[in-house]
Amino acid sequence: MINSRLIGRRIIVFGSATGIGAATVARLVAEGARVCAADINFEGATKVAEAAGGETFAVHVDIADETSVTQAVNAVVERFGGLDGAHINAADLRVILQDSDALNVDLDVFDRTVAVNLRGHLLCTRAVLPHLLKNKASAIVYTSSGSAQGAEPTRPSYAMTKAGVNALMRHVASRWGREGVTANVLAPGFTVTGEMKSQMEANPEEAGKWADFFMARTPHTRLGESEDHAGVVALLLSDDGRWINGAIVDVNGGSLMRG
Protein backbone atom coordinates (compact mmCIF):
# COMPACT_ATOMS: atom_id res chain seq x y z
CA MET A 1 0.00 0.00 0.00
CA ILE A 2 1.37 3.47 -0.95
CA ASN A 3 -0.16 4.95 2.22
CA SER A 4 -3.32 4.40 4.21
CA ARG A 5 -5.05 7.76 3.99
CA LEU A 6 -8.12 6.40 2.17
CA ILE A 7 -8.73 3.30 4.30
CA GLY A 8 -12.45 2.64 4.54
CA ARG A 9 -13.43 5.42 2.10
CA ARG A 10 -16.17 4.41 -0.34
CA ILE A 11 -15.60 6.03 -3.72
CA ILE A 12 -17.15 5.88 -7.18
CA VAL A 13 -15.09 6.79 -10.27
CA PHE A 14 -17.24 7.67 -13.30
CA GLY A 15 -15.24 7.07 -16.49
CA SER A 16 -12.78 4.48 -15.27
CA ALA A 17 -12.31 1.87 -18.00
CA THR A 18 -9.23 3.55 -19.49
CA GLY A 19 -6.83 6.46 -19.09
CA ILE A 20 -6.88 8.80 -16.12
CA GLY A 21 -9.92 7.15 -14.50
CA ALA A 22 -8.40 3.67 -14.68
CA ALA A 23 -5.16 4.92 -13.10
CA THR A 24 -7.20 6.67 -10.41
CA VAL A 25 -9.06 3.49 -9.49
CA ALA A 26 -5.72 1.69 -9.03
CA ARG A 27 -4.33 4.56 -6.93
CA LEU A 28 -7.40 4.89 -4.68
CA VAL A 29 -7.36 1.17 -3.99
CA ALA A 30 -3.61 1.30 -3.29
CA GLU A 31 -4.37 3.95 -0.66
CA GLY A 32 -6.98 1.73 1.00
CA ALA A 33 -10.29 2.86 -0.55
CA ARG A 34 -13.23 0.68 -1.53
CA VAL A 35 -13.90 1.67 -5.12
CA CYS A 36 -16.59 1.26 -7.74
CA ALA A 37 -15.31 1.56 -11.32
CA ALA A 38 -18.26 2.93 -13.33
CA ASP A 39 -18.10 3.24 -17.11
CA ILE A 40 -20.09 2.90 -20.32
CA ASN A 41 -17.39 0.37 -21.26
CA PHE A 42 -18.35 -2.26 -18.68
CA GLU A 43 -15.85 -4.81 -19.95
CA GLY A 44 -12.99 -2.33 -19.60
CA ALA A 45 -14.16 -1.23 -16.14
CA THR A 46 -14.38 -4.86 -15.05
CA LYS A 47 -10.76 -5.45 -16.08
CA VAL A 48 -9.67 -2.33 -14.20
CA ALA A 49 -11.57 -3.45 -11.08
CA GLU A 50 -10.08 -6.94 -11.23
CA ALA A 51 -6.56 -5.59 -11.67
CA ALA A 52 -6.99 -3.18 -8.74
CA GLY A 53 -8.02 -5.94 -6.34
CA GLY A 54 -9.40 -5.17 -2.89
CA GLU A 55 -13.15 -4.69 -2.75
CA THR A 56 -13.25 -3.01 -6.14
CA PHE A 57 -16.15 -3.78 -8.44
CA ALA A 58 -17.45 -2.47 -11.78
CA VAL A 59 -20.83 -1.14 -12.86
CA HIS A 60 -22.14 -0.12 -16.25
CA VAL A 61 -23.17 3.53 -16.51
CA ASP A 62 -23.96 5.99 -19.27
CA ILE A 63 -23.61 9.30 -17.47
CA ALA A 64 -25.79 11.00 -20.10
CA ASP A 65 -28.71 8.85 -18.93
CA GLU A 66 -30.35 9.76 -15.61
CA THR A 67 -31.76 6.30 -14.88
CA SER A 68 -28.44 4.66 -15.61
CA VAL A 69 -26.62 7.06 -13.25
CA THR A 70 -29.15 6.48 -10.47
CA GLN A 71 -28.86 2.72 -10.85
CA ALA A 72 -25.05 2.84 -10.74
CA VAL A 73 -25.00 4.99 -7.60
CA ASN A 74 -27.64 2.81 -5.92
CA ALA A 75 -25.51 -0.25 -6.66
CA VAL A 76 -22.48 1.29 -4.91
CA VAL A 77 -24.47 2.45 -1.91
CA GLU A 78 -26.05 -0.97 -1.57
CA ARG A 79 -22.69 -2.73 -1.82
CA PHE A 80 -20.65 -0.37 0.40
CA GLY A 81 -23.40 0.93 2.70
CA GLY A 82 -22.80 4.56 1.71
CA LEU A 83 -20.51 6.88 -0.23
CA ASP A 84 -17.64 9.16 0.86
CA GLY A 85 -16.31 10.39 -2.45
CA ALA A 86 -16.85 10.64 -6.20
CA HIS A 87 -14.51 11.30 -9.08
CA ILE A 88 -16.61 12.48 -12.02
CA ASN A 89 -14.16 11.98 -14.87
CA ALA A 90 -16.03 10.60 -17.89
CA ALA A 91 -15.95 12.44 -21.21
CA ASP A 92 -16.98 11.28 -24.67
CA LEU A 93 -13.73 11.76 -26.54
CA ARG A 94 -14.75 9.76 -29.62
CA VAL A 95 -16.16 12.91 -31.20
CA ILE A 96 -13.39 15.32 -30.25
CA LEU A 97 -11.65 15.17 -33.64
CA GLN A 98 -14.90 16.28 -35.32
CA ASP A 99 -15.22 19.23 -32.91
CA SER A 100 -13.86 21.57 -35.58
CA ASP A 101 -14.83 25.20 -35.01
CA ALA A 102 -17.89 27.27 -34.16
CA LEU A 103 -18.89 27.78 -37.79
CA ASN A 104 -18.53 24.18 -38.91
CA VAL A 105 -19.07 21.87 -35.96
CA ASP A 106 -21.85 19.35 -36.55
CA LEU A 107 -24.58 20.02 -33.98
CA ASP A 108 -24.83 16.29 -33.24
CA VAL A 109 -21.19 16.42 -32.12
CA PHE A 110 -21.94 19.48 -30.00
CA ASP A 111 -25.06 17.89 -28.47
CA ARG A 112 -23.29 14.62 -27.58
CA THR A 113 -20.39 16.52 -26.04
CA VAL A 114 -22.79 18.57 -23.92
CA ALA A 115 -24.86 15.49 -23.01
CA VAL A 116 -21.89 13.59 -21.57
CA ASN A 117 -19.30 16.17 -20.59
CA LEU A 118 -21.69 18.69 -19.04
CA ARG A 119 -25.24 17.41 -18.44
CA GLY A 120 -23.77 14.05 -17.41
CA HIS A 121 -21.70 15.75 -14.72
CA LEU A 122 -24.82 17.42 -13.34
CA LEU A 123 -26.62 14.04 -13.31
CA CYS A 124 -23.72 12.40 -11.44
CA THR A 125 -23.61 15.30 -8.98
CA ARG A 126 -27.35 14.98 -8.26
CA ALA A 127 -27.07 11.25 -7.76
CA VAL A 128 -24.08 11.25 -5.38
CA LEU A 129 -24.78 14.38 -3.31
CA PRO A 130 -27.62 13.05 -1.10
CA HIS A 131 -25.33 10.16 -0.07
CA LEU A 132 -22.25 12.34 0.45
CA LEU A 133 -24.30 14.72 2.61
CA LYS A 134 -24.95 11.91 5.09
CA ASN A 135 -21.26 12.10 6.12
CA LYS A 136 -19.45 14.82 8.06
CA ALA A 137 -16.66 14.92 5.47
CA SER A 138 -16.91 13.90 1.85
CA ALA A 139 -15.62 15.10 -1.50
CA ILE A 140 -16.27 15.37 -5.22
CA VAL A 141 -13.48 15.73 -7.78
CA TYR A 142 -14.46 16.65 -11.33
CA THR A 143 -12.12 16.27 -14.30
CA SER A 144 -12.13 19.38 -16.42
CA SER A 145 -9.28 20.41 -18.75
CA GLY A 146 -6.79 23.17 -19.37
CA SER A 147 -8.86 23.86 -22.50
CA ALA A 148 -11.45 25.58 -20.27
CA GLN A 149 -8.92 28.31 -19.51
CA GLY A 150 -6.78 28.26 -22.63
CA ALA A 151 -7.60 29.64 -26.06
CA GLU A 152 -7.83 27.15 -28.88
CA PRO A 153 -8.78 27.47 -32.55
CA THR A 154 -10.47 24.02 -32.51
CA ARG A 155 -12.72 21.89 -30.25
CA PRO A 156 -15.09 24.64 -29.06
CA SER A 157 -17.74 22.19 -27.81
CA TYR A 158 -15.21 20.39 -25.62
CA ALA A 159 -13.81 23.61 -24.13
CA MET A 160 -17.29 25.03 -23.52
CA THR A 161 -18.36 21.95 -21.59
CA LYS A 162 -15.15 21.91 -19.55
CA ALA A 163 -15.67 25.58 -18.61
CA GLY A 164 -19.17 24.53 -17.53
CA VAL A 165 -17.75 21.77 -15.33
CA ASN A 166 -15.56 24.37 -13.60
CA ALA A 167 -18.70 26.45 -12.93
CA LEU A 168 -20.62 23.41 -11.64
CA MET A 169 -17.74 22.60 -9.28
CA ARG A 170 -17.69 26.14 -7.85
CA HIS A 171 -21.47 25.99 -7.37
CA VAL A 172 -21.25 22.70 -5.46
CA ALA A 173 -18.29 23.93 -3.37
CA SER A 174 -20.10 27.12 -2.35
CA ARG A 175 -23.54 25.57 -1.87
CA TRP A 176 -22.54 22.45 0.10
CA GLY A 177 -19.09 23.20 1.58
CA ARG A 178 -20.63 24.21 4.92
CA GLU A 179 -22.44 20.87 5.03
CA GLY A 180 -19.19 18.93 4.66
CA VAL A 181 -18.89 18.27 0.93
CA THR A 182 -15.82 19.72 -0.78
CA ALA A 183 -15.72 20.03 -4.57
CA ASN A 184 -12.65 20.60 -6.71
CA VAL A 185 -11.54 20.27 -10.32
CA LEU A 186 -8.58 18.36 -11.67
CA ALA A 187 -7.58 20.21 -14.86
CA PRO A 188 -5.16 18.02 -16.84
CA GLY A 189 -2.95 19.29 -19.58
CA PHE A 190 -2.14 17.05 -22.55
CA THR A 191 -1.69 13.57 -21.08
CA VAL A 192 -0.37 10.48 -22.78
CA THR A 193 -2.67 7.75 -21.48
CA GLY A 194 -1.90 4.05 -22.01
CA GLU A 195 -4.40 3.95 -24.86
CA MET A 196 -2.80 6.99 -26.50
CA LYS A 197 0.63 5.36 -26.19
CA SER A 198 -0.62 2.38 -28.23
CA GLN A 199 -2.07 4.71 -30.88
CA MET A 200 1.18 6.68 -30.98
CA GLU A 201 3.24 3.51 -31.39
CA ALA A 202 1.03 2.56 -34.34
CA ASN A 203 1.67 5.92 -36.04
CA PRO A 204 5.10 7.14 -34.81
CA GLU A 205 5.53 9.95 -37.35
CA GLU A 206 2.22 11.66 -36.50
CA ALA A 207 2.77 10.93 -32.79
CA GLY A 208 6.20 12.54 -32.90
CA LYS A 209 4.69 15.74 -34.32
CA TRP A 210 2.10 15.87 -31.53
CA ALA A 211 4.67 15.13 -28.84
CA ASP A 212 6.95 17.89 -30.18
CA PHE A 213 4.00 20.31 -30.35
CA PHE A 214 3.06 19.77 -26.71
CA MET A 215 6.64 19.54 -25.39
CA ALA A 216 7.37 22.94 -26.95
CA ARG A 217 4.57 24.34 -24.77
CA THR A 218 5.46 22.45 -21.58
CA PRO A 219 8.29 23.69 -19.32
CA HIS A 220 9.03 20.23 -18.01
CA THR A 221 11.16 17.19 -18.79
CA ARG A 222 8.28 15.09 -20.16
CA LEU A 223 4.60 14.99 -21.05
CA GLY A 224 1.93 14.02 -18.53
CA GLU A 225 0.77 10.47 -17.80
CA SER A 226 -2.42 9.16 -16.21
CA GLU A 227 -0.65 8.40 -12.92
CA ASP A 228 0.31 12.08 -12.56
CA HIS A 229 -3.40 12.80 -12.10
CA ALA A 230 -4.36 9.78 -10.01
CA GLY A 231 -2.25 10.89 -7.04
CA VAL A 232 -3.81 14.37 -7.11
CA VAL A 233 -7.34 12.93 -7.14
CA ALA A 234 -6.41 10.73 -4.16
CA LEU A 235 -5.15 13.80 -2.31
CA LEU A 236 -8.37 15.74 -3.00
CA LEU A 237 -10.50 12.83 -1.78
CA SER A 238 -8.46 12.40 1.42
CA ASP A 239 -8.12 14.30 4.71
CA ASP A 240 -4.83 15.73 3.39
CA GLY A 241 -6.94 17.67 0.89
CA ARG A 242 -9.73 18.55 3.30
CA TRP A 243 -9.11 22.31 3.32
CA ILE A 244 -9.03 22.50 -0.47
CA ASN A 245 -12.48 23.54 -1.70
CA GLY A 246 -13.56 25.26 -4.90
CA ALA A 247 -10.12 24.92 -6.50
CA ILE A 248 -9.10 24.22 -10.07
CA VAL A 249 -5.94 22.16 -9.71
CA ASP A 250 -3.87 22.49 -12.88
CA VAL A 251 -1.85 19.33 -13.47
CA ASN A 252 -0.03 20.12 -16.68
CA GLY A 253 3.72 20.44 -16.13
CA GLY A 254 3.35 24.21 -16.25
CA SER A 255 1.92 24.44 -19.76
CA LEU A 256 -0.64 27.13 -18.85
CA MET A 257 1.86 29.47 -17.20
CA ARG A 258 2.32 32.86 -18.76
CA GLY A 259 5.92 33.49 -19.72
Ligand X SMILES: NC(=O)c1ccc[n+]([C@@H]2O[C@H](COP(=O)([O-])OP(=O)(O)OC[C@H]3O[C@@H](n4cnc5c(N)ncnc54)[C@H](O)[C@@H]3O)[C@@H](O)[C@H]2O)c1
Q: Helices in 203-254 by DSSP H: which ranges?
A: 204-216, 226-236
Indicate which single residue of 30, 58, 59, 64 sits in contact with ligand X (rule: CB under 6 A). 64
Q: Is 158 a catalytic residue?
A: yes
* Tally: H helices and E strands in the chain: 9, 9
Site string for ligand X, 158-187 (x = CB under 6 A): ------------------------------
Q: Which of 17, 29, 141, 173 binds ligand X (CB under 6 A)?
A: 17
Number of residues that bind ligand X (CB under 6 A): 28
Burial (CB count within 10 angstroms: exposed 0-12, middle 13-18, buried 19+), residue 45: buried
> Between residue 208 and residue 247, which ones bind ligand X under the rule CB under 6 A?
none
CA proximity to 150, closest of 20, 259, 233, 255: 255
**Whole-number Å distance between alpha carbons of 141 and 250:** 13
- Nearest CA to 42 among 62, 25, 59? 59
Using the rule CB under 6 A, which residue among 11, 21, 76, 105 binds ligand X?
21
Nearer to ligand X, 173 or 230 (CB): 230
Binding test (CB under 6 A) with ligand X, winner from 55, 70, 71, 195: 195
- Rounded to whole angstroms, what are the CA distances from 188 to 16, 210, 217? 16, 17, 14
58 binds ligand X (CB under 6 A): no
- Give residues in contact with ligand X (CB under 6 A): 14-15, 17-21, 39-41, 61-64, 89-93, 116, 120, 143, 145, 188, 190-191, 193, 195
Q: Which residues are catalytic?
A: 158
